[in-house]
Amino acid sequence: MAEHKPYMVIFKDGCPPSAIEEQKAKVQQAGGTIKQTFDSSIMKGFAATLPDSFAQELTTASVGGKHEHIEYVEPDSEVKTL
């Protein structure tokens, strides 16, 4: 069974909501789980657990701004302040 890890998928400014919903559906079809959705003026995207292979596919597609809608994909981690 493929390992699932937490990631954040962040979309480019002006990305239509339908494109975000389409990517969320692809995550679920790949066996991932949407954990949280971000829809603010600062950031649009979602946190999800993704199978390693699907996370790599999304990351590769977004490198250098190649993906039409995805700005970047990065591992999700806990943020602490001092």
Q: Is residue 8 part of a domain?
A: no
Q: Cα separation of 74 and 9, whole Å?
A: 7
Position 63 scores a pLDDT of 86
Q: Which domain holds residue 43?
A: 21-72
CB 68 within 8 A of CB 23: no
CB 77 within 8 A of CB 5: no
Position 24 scores a pLDDT of 97
The label of the residue with tokens 């559906």 reads 25
Q: Is residue 35 part of a domain?
A: yes
Q: Is residue 64 part of a domain?
A: yes
Q: Is residue 10 part of a domain?
A: no
Q: How many domains does the chain have?
A: 1
* pTM assigned to the model: 0.88
In sequence order, which residues have a C-beta less than 8 Å from that of residue 17 and are 6 or more positions away?
Answer: none
Q: Is residue 80 part of a domain?
A: no
Measured between its terminal Cα atoms, the distance across the chain in Å is 38
Position 44 scores a pLDDT of 96
Across residues 17-32, what is the average pLDDT? Answer: 96
